[in-house]
A and B are shown apart, each in its own frame.
Chain A
Amino acid sequence: MTDIRQKDAVSRFRPRVRPGRILMWTLLLIGGVIMITPLLFMFSTSLKPASQVYDLRLIPQDPTFSNYVKVLTSTGFGRWFFNSLLVATIVTCSNVFFDSLVGYTLAKFRFRGRRFIFIAILSTLMIPTEMLVIPWYLMSANLGWLDSYWGIMFPGMMTGFGTFLMRQFFEGVPDDFMEAARIDGMNEFVIWWKIAMPLVAPALSALAIFTFLGNWTAFFWPLIVTTSSELYTLPVGLSSFAVEAAIQWEMIMTGAALATIPTLLVFLIFQRYIVRGVMLAGVKG
C-alpha cells in the first residue's frame, strides 16, 4: 500500500501526460469511434423518412418517429421481440443449468470414461456452426422440429464451451466444501445447487450473459429453421424487411435500434460482471 502511495506522490512532480498515454488514448478514441459510428447511424437512420435514407447526414434533416410507429404497429415486431426473448431466456437457463451440471460432474467426480467424455466435449468446440447446420436441419426435418420453438432452441440448449468453462471453474472449488456438506448430510444434487453453484457465481453470470446475448443476436440457424413469420426471432424478422421488394433501411434500422435496447440494458446493468466475465473467460478458458 505505502508503495503505491509513494509512487503517486512522485508522479505529481512529473508532467502528467506522457507520450505513451497520448498514443493509448488516441488508439482507444479511434476504436471507440469505429464502434460507435454504426450505432449512431442506426439511430439516425431510424429517425429519417424513407426518402432521406441515402442522405448520409448524421443529424436527420426532419427527424420523425413515424418509422417507430410503423415498425411497432404494422409489422410482426412485437411477436419477434417476444420470440427472441423467449428463446434467449430458455436457452440461457438451460445452459446455466446443464452446462454447470455436466461441468461439475466432470470436475468433481471420478468415474470411468471421464477423460474421454471431457475430450469429446472439448472437441465439439472445433466444429464450426456452418458445418453443423445441415445435420441439424436434417435432424429437425426428420423429427418434425422445423418451424418450431424447439427447432430454434435445441442446438444451443447445451454448449461445449459452457460445459468446459464451468468445469474449469468447478475444478477451482476446494473439495473440502463438498465434503463438509456431505458430512452435514446434503445429497449430491443439493451440494451442487446450494454449495458449488454459489461459489462459481461470477462464472455463471458470465456464461448467462454471453449465452443470452449470443442467442439474442443469433441469425443463421433461426433463419434456416423457421419459415412462418410468427416464429421469426428478431434478427430474422428484421432481415425480412430486406427481402420484400426493396431493402427498407429505415425499417431495418428502426427495428435494430429497438432490438438494441435490451442488449444495452444488459450491458449497463451487468457491466461489472461482463468485464469480470471476459477476464475470467480469458484467464481460465
Chain B
Amino acid sequence: MASIALEKLVKRYDKVEAVHGIDLEIADGEFVVFVGPSGCGKSTTLRMIAGLEEITGGTLRIGDAVVNERAPKARNIAMVFQNYAIYPHLTVRQNIGFGLYTAKLSKDEKNARIDDTARILGLTDYLERRPAALSGGQRQRVAIGRAMVRNPSAFLFDEPLSNLDAQLRAQMRIEIKKLHQELKTTTVYVTHDQIEAMTMADRIVVMKDGNILQTGTPVDLYENPADVFTARFIGSPSMNMLPALALAGQSAVPSDDVLVGIRPHDLLAVVDGAVPEGAIVTLEGVVEAVEPLGPETMVHLNVAGASLIATSPGTLSPAVGSRITCTVQPGKLYLFDAATEKSLGRK
C-alpha cells in the first residue's frame, strides 16, 4: 500500500495538451474517484499513474519514490479496464494467475493465492471455466481478481462498470466498495457516472478540460460546489440554474449579474396551498411533466420560460398543465458569478 502524489503533472500528445499540470495528493488507503465529462483527461491521468502513458512534465510519486520513468510492472500497481481485458483463451484460474506472472512464488503458493482471491470474489466454482462461459459481472470479477491477487500498492480502475447493466452496476459498486473496506488498498477510480462517484468515493476529484476543478468528499462537493460545472455534475437530477433576472422580485436574490442554483430536492411543491413558513423564494409555474418515483415525484415546471425540476411528496402528483407553487428554504440557494461561473456562496 502506498500514497500517490501528482505534482504539476502534464500530458501532451504532439500538439494537444490533454492534462495541464495537475496537483493531487492521494493518501494511503484512500478511495479517490475522478469524474468529469468525456475527454477531460481522466483516463490519461490514470494511465500516467499506471505507467501506460509517458509523463510529459511534472512528478509522480508512489510511496516515497519518484516513478516517472518506471515501467508499469515496477510500480506495483494493478489496473482494471473497462473491457475487462481478460484473456478468452485462458481459464479463470489462468487469468487470475496472470496477476502473479512476475511473482516469485511456487506453483502451490500461487494456487493458494488464486483460490483465496476466488473465494473472496465468489468465483470458486468458475475457476476452470473460460470467460466466454461467464456473465458480464463474473468477467468483471475475474478482472478484479487478477488485480487483487498480487497485493498491489494501489488499484486503478478505468470505468470498470460501464459495460454492465444498471442492476449489476449497482451491485458491483457495493462489492468494490466492500472490497476496499476489507483490503484498504489505495484506489483511484475513473468514472463519468456521478452516482458511482458519490457512493464510492472517500474523495472526489472533478476534472474538466485537463484541469482539476475541485476535490473534496462527496458531501463537500454536494454542499459547496466551487462552480457551476461541479454543481450541475454532482447530484441527480442536476441542479436547476437560473439567471437572477428570472427571479426578479424575490427579496433573497441579489439583483447583480449572478446565476442562481436550486437543487430539485430543495425546490418543494406546495401541498394544499399552504406556503411553508420562512420560504425565501416562491415560484409559480406550469407543470410540463411528472415523474413519480414512489417516495417522491419529480415535477418538471415551466417558470416564465425557464425549465425547472421540483419535488413533490410521493402521494401528491400534480396534473400536467396545472399551475403550482414551489418554495425554497433559507440556505438552499447556490449563487454563482455569471461571468466566471465561480461560486459566490449560499443563501
Contact = CB atoms under 8 A, between A and B. Distances in A.
A183 B98 contact: no
Given A185-B73, A201-B89, A174 B83 contact: yes
Contact of B82 (A176, A195, A201): A176
Nearest to B50: A183
Nearest to B71: A182
Contacts of B87: 177, 195, 198-199
A180 B85 contact: yes
A235 B255 CA distance: 95
A174 B89 contact: no
Given A174-B83, A176-B82, A183 B73 contact: yes
A181 interface: yes
Most B C-beta atoms less than 10 A away, residue of A179, A181, A182, A195? A179
B42 interface: no
Contacts of A199: 87-89
Contacts of A184: 73, 98-99, 101-102, 146, 150
Contact of B72 (A174, A182, A195, A201): A182
A280 interface: no
Contacts of A176: 81-85
Nearest to A195: B87
B35 interface: no
Interface in B52-81: 52, 71-73, 77-79, 81
A186 interface: yes
Most A C-beta atoms less than 10 A away, residue of B85, B87, B98? B85
Given A183-B79, A184-B102, A177 B85 contact: yes
Most B C-beta atoms less than 10 A away, residue of A176, A180, A201? A180
A186 B101 contact: yes
A174 B101 CA distance: 21
A contact residues, range: 10 to 19
A183 B101 contact: no
B81 A182 contact: no
Contacts of A186: 73, 101-102
B232 to A, nearest CB: 31
A264 B87 CA distance: 34
B266 to A, nearest CB: 42
A179 B78 CA distance: 11
A182 B53 CA distance: 12
Contacts of B99: 184
A68 to B, nearest CB: 43
B85 A174 contact: yes
A179 B52 contact: yes
Given A182-B52, A184-B101, A185-B102, A198 B89 contact: yes
Contacts of A195: 87
Contacts of B84: 176
Interface of A: 174, 176-177, 179-186, 195, 198-199, 201
Interface of B: 50-52, 71-73, 77-79, 81-85, 87-89, 98-99, 101-102, 143, 146, 150
21 contacts: A174-B83, A176-B82, A176-B84, A177-B87, A179-B50, A179-B72, A180-B81, A180-B85, A180-B98, A182-B71, A183-B50, A183-B51, A184-B98, A184-B99, A184-B150, A185-B101, A185-B102, A186-B101, A186-B102, A199-B87, A201-B89
Which 5 residue pairs across A and B have the least CB separation, nearest first?
A185-B73, A185-B102, A180-B85, A176-B85, A198-B89
Given A179-B81, A180-B146, A198-B89, 7 more contacts: A174-B85, A176-B81, A176-B82, A177-B85, A180-B143, A182-B52, A184-B73
